[in-house]
Structure formats: C-alpha cells, structure tokens
Chains A and B, each alone.
Chain A
Amino acid sequence: MARRKRILRYFGYALLAGTAAFLAFALYLDLRVTGEFEGRRFSLPARIYARPIELHAGSRLRQPEVEEELRSLGYSVGERDEPGWFLSQKNELEFVTRPFVFWDGPQRATRVRVAFDSGVVKTVTSSDGKDLPLFRLEPLLIGGIYPAGHEDRVLVRLQEVPRHLVMELVATEDRNFFTHAGFDPRALARAAFRSLTGHTEGGSTITQQLVKNFFLTPERTLKRKFTELVMAVLLEMHYGKEEILETYLNEIYLGQDRDRAIHGVGLAAQFYFGKEVRHLSVAESALLVALVKGPAVYDPRRHGARALDRRNFVLHQAKELGYLSLEQYSLARSQPLGVVAKPATGTTPYPAFVQLVHRQLRSDYDEKDLRSEGLRIFPALDPRVQNAAERALATRLAQFDREKRFGPPGIEGAIVVADPQSGEIEALVSGRDARYRGFNRAVDAARPVGSLLKPVVYLTALQDPARYTLVTPIDDAPFVWKSRGAPDWAPQNYDLKFHGMVPLRTALAQSYNVATARLGTDVGVEKVLDNVRRLGVDRPMKPFAATLLGAVEMSPLEVAQLYQTLASGGFRTPLRAIREVTTQEGRPLARYALRVEQVIAPESAYLITAAMQGVVREGTGQALNSVLPPEVAVAGKTGTTDEQRDAWFAGFTGDRLAIVWVGYDDNRAARLSGAASALPVWGDLMAALPAEPLALAKPDNIETVLIDPQSGLRADLSCPGALELPFASGSAPSQRAPCASELGVTVQEVKQKAKSWLDRLFGR
C-alpha cells in the first residue's frame, strides 16, 4: 500500500517535471518561431514606376513602341474578358487598360483605340467612338526599395495576389488550411498510409512548411518534425490565417537563378513570367503552385513536360474542390507554360536609376518608411530612352575594346539623358553592364571634364558684347600664364600647332586650347568660375588658368546640370529624378515641382548656343552629321583630357540633352578622343529616338547678320559661303567685306525685294 502510494507520488513528480520541461520547451520554441515570424513579417517596400506613356493626337510614338510597352506591362494579345489585353492591326491598336491610381487620381479600366500614321499618333478614341484628348497608359513598375538582405525579394500584399493563385495553393498543398490549428491529422494519416504503399506525400500544412522554411535544415528526423509541428501550432495561436498565408507567399522557395534563390511569388512571377503577381492568369499561377513541391525537379525551363504535368495536376485539384469552374479549368489546361525565355537578373532592370531615386528620396523620407510603407514613386525614367542609351553604350564600348585590345577590364562609360526644359532625368546608364548594381559612374565618378568647360569661357566673353562677338579675332599664338604660387602654364593645342588669329566661334568649334586660355584669362578666371556656379555646378574649383581647360573633376550628372542651363536658354532647372510620391493608397504626399531660375541673360545663352551649333556644323563634332539630319542643328561640345584618359560628348537637340563619358575606371590612357568615342555613342543614342530640331526662341535684342567667313565682316549674297550669325543688337561689324557689293544691299533688302516681286506677280 505504502509502496503503491510512493510510486504514485514519484509518478506525479515525474509528470509535473515532464510538463514543466515541455512548457519550457514550448516557450522556447514559441520565442524562436514568433521572433522569426516578426522578423519576416510584412513590410512593403516603396515602388518605383517609369513615366507613363501619354497618348494624344500628335504624340511622336510608333505603333511598335506602344505595343512593346503593353507587352512589358504583361498585356496579352487577343480579346479577353478582363482588362490587360491588346489587338494589333495595320496602323491601329486597340486595348483595354487595367485600372491604375495615378498621382492626380484613379483611372478606370478603359477600352481605347489608337490610330497611327507615319510615326505619329493620329487619333485616340474610346470604345464609343468619342475622341480622348489625352490618355495615359499605366506605368511600368521598374523597381523597389528593399530592406537590407532582402534586396531581391518582391514583397507582395495578400490583396495583390490573385484569388485563383491562393485557391490553387490551398487545394494542392493544404486543403484544410482555413480550418486547421496548424497541423492536419487527416492529412498526416493519409500521408502515412500513402508512404506505406510506396508513395511519398508531404502531409505538412502551409503553416508547417512556413516554419520549415524559417529554419532551413536538411535534417528530416521525427524529432525535427515534432518540433515543427509544435511551432506551427504556436504560430497559429499568435497570428491569423491571412498573416500566415501572406508571409508564406513571400517566403516560399520557388526557383534558383545561378547563385540567387527565388523566394516569394512576387519575384517568381517576375522570374518566370516577367510580370507582376497581380497579373498572373489561372494557368500561370498554377505553375508557381506546382513549383512548391520542387523548383528544381519541375523547373519549367529545363523540364517542360514534367512541369506541365504538375501544373495540370494543380489545376485538376483546384477544379475538384470547386475553386475553378470547368470552363476555367479547360481553358487553363489548354494553355502552354508561357514562361519567358530570359529571366531578369535583378529586382530592377535599371539599378543605377533606382539608386539615384533612392538617394533623392532619402533626403526627404525616413529610410524605414521607404522600406516598409509601400510608398509609390513616380519618376520620369523613359524606358525607350533608357534602352536606346544602354544599347548605344554597350555596342560602341565592345567595338572600342576590339579595336584597342587593352584586355580586361574593358573600357567603361556612363550616360545621363535629360529633358532640358523640365530638368527631368529620362535615362541614366552607369556602365556597360547596365543591369549590374554597382559603382554608379553617372552619379559618382568625378572625372576631369576637359574641353566641356570651354563653352562657359566663351559664354563669359559673349556676355560683354562690346568686346566680344562670334567673329571677334582671338589670338592662338603661344601663350604663357604666370601667377604667384603656381608654376608657369603654357597650354598646347591638340594638334600641337598654333593657328594665329582665329574668329571666336572657330576657336570654340575647333576647341583650340591656346586661344581659349588667352580668352579666359582676359575675361578673368574668377568670372568664368562664377558662371560655372551659376550654371548649377556647386563644387570647389581652383582659380587657376588650367581650370579653364577642364582641370576640374565633375560627374556626368553635374555636367548634365551645367548643360541643362545652357540648353534652356539660360534658365537653370534643377535636374530631378522624381515627379511625385504617393502613399500606398494613392494619396499624394509630395511633388517635386518644376522650378526655373534665369541665371544667364537670354541673349548670351542664344549666342553660346549658336557657337555650339558651330561645333557640330563645322568643328570637332562634325561626325554627327553623318548620323543625324543637319536640320536637327545639334549644339554640343567634345571633351578629351590629358593622354586621352577621359572622353566626353555633351550636347542637346530641341527636346533632349545627353552627356556621354567614356574611359577606364583605373584611369588608364584610353587613347580615344571625345570625338572618336563619346561622340559616336551620343550619335547612336540620338539617332535611335525622334529628335526635335534645336531652334531657340530669338531674344528681342539679337539680330542676325550675314557674315563673310573670310574677313569676318558684313557680307551679302555675292559672298561665297556667307553665314547668317547672331549678334547682340549693335555689336555686329559695320564694315562691309571686300566681296560685298558696293551698293550695300543686305539680305533683308533682297528678301524684301523678292517678296514684293512675288506679291506683284500673284496680284496679292
């Protein structure tokens, strides 16, 4: 009796100790699993979109360009019930857009018909035949701002995941998910039974799979399984089904891209289909669900047949449980896998641009908010321009490598493209491998600018029209600059010759160093540097004469700011990467407004632009005339630094400004001049896009005068090769050139005579 009592007591102690041990164990597991879950719980990164395409009668857009944009947006070809498709006919495009919330309000799904005519949009009409004056396509998603370590994850909210994806997942992986408590005894029993008959089946719930994913270990013991089960139950006690499902969808391992694991349906949708998860069809979602069982075994790119079988099994399961109608099922089943051939290599195809956007945002927003609040960012990036710039750079650099044979690492380059009037950055290329998220040469590589600074020297001179005009003779004879505290400085020309007296515009067009140095020191180095600052470059510069010839380092982005001011007639507009920022719901948060400041008088800006057009018409930029029609009248400047370490071309048309830098990262002599390397890249880029001719609005106090290029004096039509040049009122030469007729007939007079003669002839 006493013995039995004692045994019972011991048993009681043991039970108590066991329970305590189990509770401690459970508590420990609870801490671990909730800690892990909290760490991965949802945070929505900021999303970055490209500029939307604006369609209106007269848009300079070709049909294939709009089609390509629709394809990139994941629109399918052929009419469907849901928005997001297009039909292409000869000179006509019809499509139904998906709804999208823009900064200035939502736009509903709209059926639109666009007619094209020789490279221009002719009409834009709605389905009822009414004219749409202006219609915006939804913009492409080009990237996000992610927490460290999650750089390649496209986090999605449960609401964005199509319902059919969720149902297919539940039907295939865990049909009692919405009712069980973390584990599913029936599924376990079924799995156990099936394993006896030689089949293997998981039997793990979605919650268990999630837990397994948290503590990835190859260990597959009973103890491990038990631990996972307890953790799954604990997880279910703390969090709702939806939270668990959302985390699962963002965690699940769905593929491998070389050394990068593809986790989550967001990235997988991009990796396999090149689209956002919310746009996945029934069949496409089923393939992602199929991959849950084994991304390597069912890899659709390598084992297409196997993947198709598994996908159809998923569809079948979903149909059996009533989640898909028979119609949906048979339609989906008949579809091919639809996997895109080339997977994108990162979360953004434009890492350099996204980095710039991120930096601009960081000055206004908390880093944490950027990574978790789901802000929507609307920059001005134009994929058309960006792709043209990337292609131009990559193609030419490969060619230079072949010709020069310097061996690896190859020559590098960077490009900035902006709209000169709005100051918006349309494209940014940071190197030959534009997909590589690395050193951002366009923003961070400060390199000597060489002759790119010369236009500022000439601008400074032209601001004093009493002393300098485009035809003022400048001396290009040997020149030595002496100053206390600095060694004597005797610049050389590129061709190692001196050219004597040359007209000011020729000295710039031919980029003569000696004439420029003399001119710059005559007008004053400080005055020139003051203008550099006015034009928008804020960095310390040494007040030495050598600075005039570009012994100052700038990034391509800084050069772009300098040239933006020149390109917009002396109105500086701070370059912007971002237009607008909204909350996740679309409520506007911030606008980066267009700001202009007149920093250079319009007359001076007009004169220097005319001189820079001379660079392309007859100077060091002449080669552009073989790729661009002369009526585009490009204004530009080549730049080459000592031993040809850096090659530049900066220039603008009527609607686009681009800066190109080419050189080696390690500062090797590239043995390529600006004209031989940066210029062809610039030309290829501009030739690939429609170009608006550069025709500056002529300020009131500018007159154009016909000039004899030989003497630099007033010419008339009897002078061969006479040029119309602009002058600040009253500054044009008054003397007539020897070739001009004694009568002194000016062009205006001749024009006037011809006009009145015509008028008489036609009796007007």
Chain B
Amino acid sequence: MKRFFLLTIFLAGCAAPPQGPSETAPPPVPEAPPAPKENVAIAGLMESARSDAAAGRLVQAAASLERALRIEPRNPRLWHELARVRLRQGDGAQAANLAARSNSFAGSDAQLRAANQGIIEQARTAR
C-alpha cells in the first residue's frame, strides 16, 4: 500500500513538483512525447485532463479523456493518458490493458510504444 502511495506521488511529480521522497520510487514511465498536430477539441480535453491529473483530480481527468476518446477512438495518445490515470488510481490491470490498447493504435511511434511498455511493466511490479 505504501509502495503504491509513493508511486502515486511520483507519478504526480511528472507534472508537478515532487512532494515526497523519490529515491524509493520505481523507475519512471518515460513521458510520452508531445502530440503531433491535433484536433483543437482533443488538445483542449487532453490539456484539462493533464492539469486535473496534476492536481490529483483523477476522476475528472479520466472523464475528459473518455470524452475525447468518443471523438477520436483511434488516438493512441488518449488511450495512453487514460492508462497513466488508471495506474495512478491503483488499477494496474486496467492500466496495462489500456496501454495495450494504445499500442494497438500506435503504429510506428516507438516513443509512445516504449511509454506504454513502461506502464505495462509498472503495472506488473505494482501487483
């Protein structure tokens, strides 16, 4: 449980200043590269999801991402972001499945694939 708590804090640290000791945290999930040119609606939802996630409002972050997925269900970045949120919520199984879903749309985006692989491995170690 403690380990998970630290993990959560660490992941929050990806977007906000670190709030706790990070030396015991697991290896970081590489940050997904900035998205290429996108639909502004999607970009806006992604942005609010990121700021919600940074502020710890994970339920809202997930809701924004799902709303974006209704518009662009094949956007691998959205699936990836949702996987990150689920991981922070402690739902490793969902995180891994969502990362796999992201991979299925990722094509040749090696960086995104690596980030997804990172989530899948973290989910495994967290269990």
Contact = CB atoms under 8 A, between A and B. Distances in A.
B100 to A, nearest CB: 5
Contacts of A591: 59, 62-63
A133 B104 CA distance: 28
Interface in B91-110: 94, 97-98, 100-101, 104-105, 107
A103 B101 contact: no
Given A595-B94, A602-B104, A131 B70 contact: no
B27 interface: no
A56 B60 contact: no
A744 interface: no
B44 A697 contact: no
Contacts of B74: 421, 697
Interface string B19-61: 0000000000000000000011101110000000000000110
B82 interface: yes
B63 A104 contact: yes
B97 A598 contact: yes
A571 B63 CA distance: 20
Most buried by A among B41, B44, B98: B41
A16 B104 CA distance: 90
A588 B60 CA distance: 10
B101 A134 contact: no
B104 A596 contact: no
For the residues of A in contact with B, the DSSP-based class is loop
Contacts of B101: 571, 596, 598
Contacts of A104: 60, 63-64
For the residues of B in contact with A, the DSSP-based class is helix
Most buried by B among A571, A591, A593, A594: A594
Contact of B41 (A133, A424, A569, A602): A133
B44 A133 contact: yes
Interface in A619-666: 655
Nearest to B44: A133
A593 B107 contact: no
Contact of A103 (B63, B69, B98, B105): B63
Given A131-B40, A133-B44, A591-B59, A54 B71 contact: yes
B71 A56 contact: yes
Nearest to B108: A700
B66 A596 contact: no
A446 B98 CA distance: 32
Interface string B53-89: 0000001101110110111011000000010000000
A597 interface: yes
Contacts of B62: 591, 593
Contacts of A56: 39-41, 71
A595 B73 CA distance: 14
Interface string A593-625: 111111000100000000000000000000000
A598 B70 CA distance: 19
9 contacts: A54-B41, A57-B40, A58-B39, A104-B63, A133-B43, A595-B97, A596-B94, A596-B98, A596-B101
Shortest Cβ-Cβ A-B pairs, 3 listed? A421-B73, A56-B41, A134-B41
Given A58-B41, A571-B97, 15 more contacts: A54-B67, A54-B71, A56-B39, A56-B40, A133-B43, A134-B44, A134-B45, A421-B74, A422-B70, A422-B73, A424-B70, A569-B104, A594-B82, A597-B97, A602-B104
